[in-house]
Amino acid sequence: MTEQQSDAEPGDLTRPSRDPDELLRRAGVRGDPDQDQHFLVDDRVLDRVPGYLPADADRSHVLEVGGGTGALTDRLLGVADRVTVIERDRRLAAFLREEFADDVASGRLTVLEGDALSVELPEFTACVSNLPYGISSEITFRLLPRGKPLVLMFQKEFAERMAADAGTDDYGRLSVSAQHYGDVDVVETVPREAFSPKPAVQSAIVRVTPRAPDYEVADEEFFLDFVKALFTQRRKTIRNGIRNTAHISGLDDPEAVVEAADEAVLRKRAGNMEPADFAALATLADEHGR
């Protein structure tokens, strides 16, 4: 056991926190860039991360993907009633169970050993994670449809693309798809020095506050595929994008969609289309082209 009292009340931010460097030492591990393993070790950043959840977020069951040595897990136990951690590294999963044995015994912490892309995700009320960057996109799109608040660490470039506005260089399929599920904000840029070992790039923390979109789509899967298809042709007009990407979007009759669409829309390029514009066009494509 450490100096931290495991029976501290959730939400007590004055409780002492475990030192991330000490956790690494006790776990007997070192980060491995080849395995996408970069441990967040800056106390100041770790202390701030849980606070980025929306003020009204339900903290009764927080999910963490990639628990590592438990530095963030420790902070989450300070603000949540229950925490579930998914950790694919067998050694680290065992270490977490030992390090937080009292919390596991009390039912406040559950450690799931396995790949976050394939394990069955539990029901959770919010997710706060320093994600393995190699699975950022895949795991994010497992989480987004759940409609829960998310606070996630990404490579800075990925984070900026998630939050980008139409008409900017960073705006793309990722922007439209993420913003379909909620309001996306980059809340903090995190330097390389905050990790051990240092990654090659800067990182950023993103908050996703779930909300229903201000438009309707009849078939969400088709909508997302349609957006993906048009962004593969982002330098071409929407007219040519529709014609050239039926194999991606799943359209049977792309020409019928072109004939039914408004000429002003067909002259645009994907990077200048707002999410609502994509939704309207996808609805028309669903009606005329499938």
Answer yes or no: is 98 a known binding residue. Answer: no
Known binding residue 115? Answer is yes
Question: Which tokens sit at 181?
Answer: 């599920």
Closest Cα partner for 155 from 174, 169, 127? 174
Helix (H), strand (E) at residue 155: strand 150-155
Collapsing DSSP to helix, strand or coil, 131 comes out as: coil
174 assigned binding-site residue: no
Pairing of the two strands 150-155 and 203-210: antiparallel
Helix axes 173-181, 156-163, angle to 10 degrees: 70
Q: CA distances (Å), 171 to each of 44, 122, 216, in order?
A: 31, 32, 21
Is 38 annotated in a binding site? The answer is yes
Nearest-angstrom CA–CA distance, 60 and 81: 5
Has 216 been labeled as part of a binding site? no
Residue 87 known to bind ligand: yes
Which token pair is 43? Answer: 């106390």
Distance, in Å, from the CA atom of 268 to the CA atom of 258, rounded to the nearest integer, reads 13
Would you give the end-to-end CA distance of the chain in angstroms?
A: 61
Instruction: List the binding residues for S-adenosyl-L-methionine.
Output: 38, 40, 66, 87, 115, 130
| Binding-site annotation: residue ranges | 38, 40, 66, 87, 115, 130
